[in-house]
Amino acid sequence: MSFYQQVKRVTTHVLHEMKLRGEKIAMLTAYDYSFARIIDQAKIDAILVGDSASNVMAGFETTLPITLDNMIYHAASVVRAVKRALVIVDMPFGTYQGNSKEALSSAIRIMKETGAHSVKMEGGRQILESVERILSAGIPVMGHLGLTPQSIHKFGTYVVRAKEKDEAEKLVEDAHLLEEAGCFGLVLEKIPAELGGKVAGELKIPVIGIGAGPDVDGQVLVLHDMLGITQEFSPRFLRRYHNLNEEIDGAVKAYIQDVRTSDFPNENEKY
Ligand code: KIV
């Protein structure tokens, strides 16, 4: 039995151990009780209550509109379902970039009101003071570099990041800064595979990729994308494991048909 299979509760320490042992970390997003329960029972290592909830749950075009109250609602629902996985909650746009005091109170609200185990923040040097203040309160922080969707209006596009030397060097520097500050892990989004492998090789903390190639310590995908619930989003890094959109469509159409033809409910389905 692998080290991970014996673990009863995944902590940040367990993720470090997994990196040391070369066991890959599997992470998915979840935003509600029912899905979180299924993926936790399937023994996912870590669950990210991502601010991608803004897109997949609320239908916004970007992750910017989701509020701290919204994130707390989603995270608390997930935490109620989870018995084993480490739960990480995205700090939403506008709750930590302003000043480190505000950042700490946002993180404290997340920890107190949801029961989650850690928070994730996008950015490097520019948010370092907030990261350090949150860490000093004993709250584990995961960093997020590369494509950082909360800065979409600065970049104007979701194309691959850090292809140029300058941006790649800055990313490596930021990754080291976050590790030195005490972050327990790092997400790298949509960067060249070679750069992903370099960062994971240089850092001691686990590096989780989404479009960062195979040579990182683990992978994360948005649950609704990998299940094929969302259809409009098809980046190269996305592997679809199912076509739930089609299955749900089929089930709903069958139900409509049954209701319309009075096939449902039948003799056994009534009181
Ligand atoms: O919000 C999110 O789902 C994320 C992942 C894409 C890493 O940050």
pLDDT at 171: 98
| Average pLDDT value for residue range 124-131 | 98
Burial classification of residue 61, based on how many CB atoms lie within 10 Å of its CB (0-12 exposed, 13-18 middle, 19 or more buried): exposed
pLDDT at 119: 98
| Average pLDDT value for residue range 217-246 | 96
pLDDT at 191: 98
Closest atom, ligand 1, to C-alpha of 208? 7
Ligand 1 centre distance from Cα of residue 51 (Å): 6
Amino acid at 9: R
Q: Which residue has the tokens 């800065």?
A: 151
End-to-end CA distance of the chain: 49
pLDDT at 232: 84
pLDDT at 85: 98
Give tens-digit pLDDT for 40-76: 999 999 999 999 999 999 999 999 999 999 999 999 9
Of the residues 189, 247, 267, 269, which is catalytic? 189
Q: Measured from the CB, is residue 222 less than 6 Å from ligand 1?
A: yes
Give tens-digit pLDDT for 89-102: 999 999 999 999 99
Q: Measured from the CB, is residue 51 less than 6 Å from ligand 1?
A: yes
Cα–Cα distance, 61 to 103 (Å, whole number) = 24
Give tens-digit pLDDT for 154-211: 999 999 999 999 999 999 999 999 999 999 999 999 999 999 999 999 999 999 999 9
CB within 8 Å of 261: residues ≥ 6 apart: none
CB 160 within 8 A of CB 138: no
Ligand 1 centre distance from Cα of residue 52 (Å): 6
- What length does the chain have? 271
DSSP secondary structure letter of residue 164:
S
Helix (H, G, I), strand (E, B) or coil at 145: strand
Ligand 1 centre distance from Cα of residue 222 (Å): 7
User: Is the C-alpha dihedral spanning 111, 117, 123, 127 positive or negative?
Assistant: positive
pLDDT at 4: 63
Give pTM, 2 decimals: 0.96
Share above pLDDT 90 across residues of the chain, in percent, rounded to a whole number: 95
- Hey, what are 151's tokens? 């800065």
pLDDT at 1: 67
What is the rounded average pLDDT for all residues in the chain?
97
Quote the strand ranges of 106-156, DSSP E.
118-122, 141-146
At residue 5, does pLDDT exceed 90?
no
Confidence of residue 233 (pLDDT cuts 50, 70, 90): confident
Alpha helix segments (H runs only) across 82-192: 100-114, 128-136, 152-155, 165-181
* 189 has catalytic annotation: yes
Cα–Cα distance, 134 to 96 (Å, whole number) = 10
Residue whose C-alpha is closest to residue 169's, from 124, 115, 108: 124
